[in-house]
Structure formats: structure tokens, C-alpha cells
A and B are shown apart, each in its own frame.
Chain A
């Protein structure tokens, strides 16, 4: 799974720590997500998409 979290985070000038505190997770979790090493829960994916003014399917790209 790939994500566009880093790209959108940069667009809104948010640090990993800033995004993490906005969605209520640790910075390390954001690192994992950006590297595509962790699949978030639906709730977390929704909160990240909301924080980045995006949609879940625009943010997370699954390799078919």
C-alpha cells in the first residue's frame, strides 16, 4: 500500500508531529504510515484524510 500522506502534509506545511497530534497518534505511527508499513484502522484513515482535507481513497493507494 502506498500513501500520499507525506505529499499532502507538505502542502499544508504540517510536520509529522503536527499531524500526529491532530489525529491523536504517535509521531512514529505517522512514520510507519508514510513508509507504507502499517495499514491504519478505518477511523484513523478517516481522521487523517479529514486533517489533510482529502478523501481516504485519494490518500491511500492499494496495489492491485
Chain B
């Protein structure tokens, strides 16, 4: 079945991407530690996360190669839910940045406050994405 083969291929590809993401996180953490002037700092959280990702998703790839089985995590419904959740986060982000820009242009707040509010807007947009994707849309399936 074409849909099945396409979907399995997509799921395998996502595991490879996760392994690459893990390696990227390790590289970034080492890079940041190397260029950090404080010599007491050592690679930490990002490296640990990267190692866990490489091991976990690498194991799934190896298991797929051996058995031909892979747990389907991505399908058309999860992609639809992801797009819907991104839509919510994006709408919030554009609206809040618009408000911050207007307030900034009318000199109601300084550059520092503007910057911090933009950071906060990004953070809340990410939280909204997580909330909608994992909880609201995910919960509806139970």
C-alpha cells in the first residue's frame, strides 16, 4: 500500500533527523563551552539531551533495519494537528509582536522592554504550540 510505504519512509526519515539534531546539540554545546571564557564550564544539558536523542533514535533505526518494524509516530492526522497548533502559535506571535511594535513606535516603552516582550511572545507562542498539539488535539483522540 503506497500510503503505508510513504508513511513508514517518513517515520524512518524523522528518526534520522532526530539523530542529526542530537549530534547538532552536542556540537553546539561543545562549541559554546570552548568559546566561553570561564574555563570551569563543561558541556552540560544540551550534550546530555543530544546523547539521549542519538542513542534513542539510533536504536530505533537499528531496530528498523533488523526487523523492518517501526513505531508510527507521524501520520496525516498528527501532521494536521501539528499545522493547526502551529497556526495558533503563529497567530498569537504575530498579533503580540504587532502590539509591541505599536507601543514601541508610540514611545510607550524603551528598546529593552520591547526586546524582552518579544522574547516573552516567542516563549508563549511555543507554549501554545505545545499545549494545543500535545494536550488539546492529542487528548481528543482518547
Contact = CB atoms under 8 A, between A and B. Distances in A.
A31 B78 CA distance: 13
B77 interface: yes
Bin chain B's interface residue count.
10 to 19
Contact of A38 (B5, B72, B77): B77
Contacts of A24: 1, 3-8, 72, 75
Q: Which secondary structure characterizes the binding site on chain A?
A: helix
Given A26-B77, A46-B3, A37 B72 contact: no
Nearest to A44: B3
A21 B140 CA distance: 21
B4 A29 contact: no
B94 to A, nearest CB: 28
A21 to B, nearest CB: 7
A2 interface: no
Given A31-B141, A32-B141, A26 B3 contact: no
Contact of B78 (A20, A26, A46): A26
Bin chain A's interface residue count.
20 to 34
A51 B141 CA distance: 22
A50 B2 CA distance: 11
23 contacts: A20-B72, A22-B4, A23-B1, A23-B3, A24-B5, A24-B7, A24-B8, A24-B72, A24-B75, A25-B7, A25-B76, A25-B77, A26-B78, A28-B77, A28-B142, A29-B77, A29-B78, A32-B77, A32-B141, A41-B76, A44-B3, A46-B1, A46-B3
